């Protein structure tokens, strides 16, 4: 279980990306505005980057998982609701 904890943390980080977008991503984007511009669709990407970086740091601190599992967990967490909806639509 200890080795899967990084995967689970990353999945939660991916899932909570929309909340991170408004709470952390938007203020960071505003701070970066004088130095660089973000395209409208890049705010969600910035939030995802923050979430995955945080999940990776936590996984490293608890000595959990390989980077692949952290990346997979974050990706599945990010798209999880859409994946479940697609599976339910097919059945």
Give the pLDDT score at 21.
Answer: 92
DSSP-derived secondary structure for 28-83: HHHHHTTT----TTHHHHHHHHHHHHHHHHHHHHTT-S-HHHHHHHHHHHHHHHHH
65-90 tens-digit pLDDT: 688 999 999 999 999 989 999 999 99
Give the pLDDT score at 1.
Answer: 59
Give the pLDDT score at 65.
Answer: 67
Give the pLDDT score at 42.
Answer: 93
Judge if pTM exceeds 0.75: yes
5-47 tens-digit pLDDT: 999 999 999 999 999 999 999 999 999 989 998 887 899 999 9
């Amino acid at each position: 279980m200890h080795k899967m904890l990084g995967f689970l943390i990353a999945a939660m980080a991916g899932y909570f990306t929309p909340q991170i977008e408004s709470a952390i991503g938007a203020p960071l984007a505003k701070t970066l505005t004088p130095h660089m511009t973000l395209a409208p669709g890049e705010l969600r990407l910035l939030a995802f980057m923050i979430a995955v970086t945080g999940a990776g740091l936590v996984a490293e601190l608890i000595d959990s998982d390989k980077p692949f599992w952290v990346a997979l967990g974050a990706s599945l967490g990010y798209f999880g609701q859409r994946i479940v909806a697609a599976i339910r639509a097919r059945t």
